Amino acid sequence: MTDYVGALRLGVNIDHVATVRNARGGAYPDPLRAAKLAQEAGADGITAHLREDRRHITDADIDGLMEVLEIPLNFEMAATPEMQAIALRHKPHAVCIVPEKREERTTEGGLEVAREENQLAHFIAPLREAGCRVSIFIAADKRQIEAAHRIGAQVIELHTGAYCDAHSEGRFADRDAELERMREMSAFAHSLGLEVHAGHGLTYETVKPVAAFPEILELNIGHFIIGESIFLGLAPAIAEMRRLMDEARD
Ligand code: PXP
């Protein structure tokens, strides 16, 4: 029997409901309605990334989420003074600090914590004091994990993008090597007392090996679920992801 650290939560990222809305600049599809439906469908949390350029989620979406959600909001943000002020105003359950480049299509890599240790330590201190659980989005790299621990983060989220890309491109040796790295590093992070989450690019095909890591307590999944909801509907798309996660833990 595997000794799991705890139950595995599913955080549903609703950014791409806003992407579709913003393509026409109107009011629908409404990310808030999606968040409420995800909540009813058994999501354990909602994740939303307020990007500097507001390309998907907007400030008004965050206001609305804070008002209507009964499950925790995981507020993803870059380490900028503007985002820190917004987080301190709302005090969401969790903030996840992610790297952000304007030209990227999505969050391409993990945060460089080791090089920015002092600035990040100062940056997250007020967020922790405000009661937010601070999570740092990083690659499965020992140096970054140690640095995240030193700066006082309570949580790390491992970037599963490289693993998922290798899978979809048929580079199976790379995929398996990345999976092994994540397995080792989730155990290492847990041994330091960090809570371990994972996410980015996960699909029905790639979720199970990651969900099976005993130290992982939360997966944050968005793009695939929102895409799949076109075919299945949002609640069934979430239910299928939940079923696969549970199957992996069995
Ligand atoms: N976790 C983090 C920290 C992210 O930045 C993202 C993407 O915004 C996700 C999870 C979800 O990734 P995806 O939308 O590819 O499932």
Q: Residue 3: inside a domain, yes or no?
A: no
Q: Residue 183's domain is classified under what CATH number?
A: 3.20.20.70
Q: Using pLDDT thresholds of 50, 70 and 90, give the confidence band for residue 242.
A: very high
Answer yes or no: is 185 within a domain: yes
49 flagged as catalytic? yes
* Pocket-testing residue among 15, 20, 107, 137, ligand 1, by greatest number of atoms within 8 A of Cβ: 107
Q: Per residue in 186-195, is it b (16+ CB within 10 Å) or e — as a string?
A: bebbbeeebb
Query: If you ran DSSP here, which 8-state letter would residue 8 be given?
Result: P
Question: By alpha-carbon position, which residue is closest to atom 12 of ligand 1?
Answer: 200
Query: Ligand 1 test: best mutation among 83, 105, 155, 223, most atoms within 8 Å of CB?
Result: 223
Q: Read off the pLDDT of residues 74-127 as tens digits, 9 standing for 90 and up.
A: 999 999 999 999 999 999 999 999 998 766 666 677 899 999 999 999 999 999
Structure tokens at 230: 């076109």
Task: Quick: pLDDT tens for 49-79.
Answer: 999 999 999 999 999 999 999 999 999 999 9
Question: Pocket around ligand 1: residues whose beta carbon is below 6 Å from it?
Answer: 13, 15, 49, 76, 96, 98, 106-107, 137, 157, 199-202, 220-224
pTM, two decimals, is: 0.96
Q: Whose CA is nearest to atom 6 of ligand 1?
A: 200
Is 2 inside any structural domain?
no
Q: Is residue 1 part of a domain?
A: no
pLDDT in tens, 189-234: 999 999 999 999 999 999 999 999 999 999 999 999 999 999 999 9
- Asked whether residue 57 is domain-assigned, the answer is yes
* Contact status, residue 66 vs residue 73, Cβ threshold 8 Å: yes
Q: What pLDDT score was predicted for residue 109?
A: 76
Ligand 1 atom, smallest distance to 135 CA:
3
43 occurs within a structural domain: yes
Active-site residue, selected from the candidate residues 200, 215, 218, 228: 200
Domain count, the chain: 1
Does the active-site annotation cover 159?
no
Cα 134 → chain centroid: 12
pLDDT at 60: 98
What are the tens digits of pLDDT across the range 133-160? 999 999 999 999 999 999 999 999 999 9
Q: How big is the chain by its Cα radius of gyration, in Å?
A: 17
Q: What is the DSSP letter of 26?
A: S
**Quick one: pLDDT at residue 100?**
86
Q: Would you call the peptide bond into 209 cis, given omega within 30 degrees of 0 as the criterion?
A: no
Nearest residue (by CA) to ligand 1, atom 1, is 199
Best residue among 14, 44, 47, 204 to mutate for probing ligand 1's pocket (most ligand atoms within 8 Å of CB) is: 47
The closest-lying atom of ligand 1 relative to the alpha carbon of residue 226 is 14
Domain that holds residue 13: 9-249
- Asked, for residue 92, whether it belongs to a domain, the answer is yes
Distance between CA 113 and CA 144 in Å, rounded? 6
Residue 243 within any structural domain of the chain = yes
